Amino acid sequence: MDAKIPVGILGATGTVGQKFIRLLDNHPWFRVKELAASERSAGKPYEEAAAWKQAAPVPDAVRRLDLRPCTPDLGCRIVFSGLDSTVAGPIEESFAAAGYVVLSNSKNHRLDLDVPLIIPEVNAEHLGLIPLQKRNRGWRGCIVTNSNCSTMFLAMVLGPLHAAFTVEEVMVVTMQAISGAGYPGVPSLDILGNVIPYIDGEEEKMEVETRKILGRFDGGKVNLAGFRVSAQCNRVAVEDGHTESVSLKFARKAPVEEIAEALRAFSGLPQRLRLPSAPEHPILVTSAPDRPQPRFDVGLAGGMAAVVGRIRPCPVLDVKFTLLGHNTIRGAAGASILNAELLKAQGYLE
């Protein structure tokens, strides 16, 4: 009667786990059936164990669900992982080995040669790694990852630009929201009225993940894109929304308006397949002189789009602009869900 696909959430009490629950509430294809967390929480009803920090209340459907431990005996075949990277590695592997399709937010497997790192609008063909992964590892299931939150929006805009103009150099400076660090995350004494010019491991992630996502899949492996990326990552006192100041150099020079048009016109497989979580336009371009801003623009398109503004020539590289995205929606849980929708639409869940 309920034709929805049952899914589980690993790390359900954490920040990303909570966002999974909120975004999957009333999802047309998926139904949250299993919630798993650390041994410490296992056995407790969800509402009791989670320090719920979302603006909307805990959905009724999961409020009373008892938490399970993160062992591969859940009553579903698909699991979304919001696990912390300190524990995600072996747990996600154990699920994949046992036949689960694991949609992972964690960094642990993103750079594995046989694990796809997917943005459905940009590199859906990298799913071709899945059969290799299963064969290599002797797994019945698989792991599909999405990128780091700040990488996501950069890679999304590089998608159409690399295709049209061939990106050669990327300079990006981020101003990242506190929600990106989870909960309790950043102490208020560290960030109130302050900027922290350092986020552990973040620059390295942006510099490599971007090149994997934009890389070419040759049937056997992903060849990293040839451009160079330099990232500088800062934390600012913003609740949600990573802002990025980006400069790019292209092989093929083009006027600013042509670049803006390439972003505006961009559309991909999720849009053609009408995936439930796909934004109508993955990239929104604003012409207001002082936008995008987290306060006003982070919720556009339900937090699933990248918002670009202030596109203008760069005196050093070719073009520069400001980029904004919702770090816990498209930058995390929403990305995994869109990946799962893509997997289903392409028959990977059968």
Q: Which residues bind a second copy (CB under 8 A)?
A: 53, 55, 169-171, 173, 175, 178-179, 183-198, 207, 228-230, 232, 234, 236-239, 243, 245, 247, 289-296, 299, 309-310, 314-317, 320, 322
Instruction: Specify the residue, 138 or 197, whose C-beta has the smaller distance to a second copy.
Output: 197
Residue recorded with tokens 């934009």 = 214
Return the number of the residue (228 or 252) whose C-beta is nearest a second copy.
Answer: 228
CB of 315 to a second copy, least distance (A): 5
For a second copy, give the closer residue by CB, 145 or 179. Answer: 179
Catalogue the active-site residues. Answer: 149, 242
Closest CA to 150 of 124, 117, 172, 121: 172
Q: CB-wise, 286 or 339, nearer to a second copy?
A: 286
The contacts of residue 29 (CB under 8 Å, 6+ apart) are 4, 5, 276, 341, 344
* Whole-number Å distance between alpha carbons of 79 and 147: 17
* Measured distance CA(57)–CA(76) in Å, rounded: 25
CB of 134 to a second copy, least distance (A): 34
Nearer to a second copy, 118 or 248 (CB): 248
Least gap, CB of 143 to a second copy (angstroms): 28
Q: Would you state the structure tokens that stand for residue 295, as one six-digit string?
A: 């306060």
Written as six digits, the tokens of 208 are 């490599």
CA-nearest of 107, 103, 123 to 20 is 103
- Report the interhelical angle of 334-345 vs 15-24 (nearest 10°): 50
Give the whole-angstrom CA distance, residue 323 versus residue 285: 9
As measured in angstroms, the least distance from the Cβ of 200 to a second copy is 8
CA angle 24–125–284, rounded 5-degree value: 60
> From residue 103, how far is each of 96, 126, 133, 285 by CA, in Å?
10, 14, 14, 29
CB of 337 to a second copy, least distance (A): 22
* Strand arrangement of the beta sheet that strand 242-250 belongs to: 228-235, 167-176, 242-250, 319-325, 306-313, 283-285
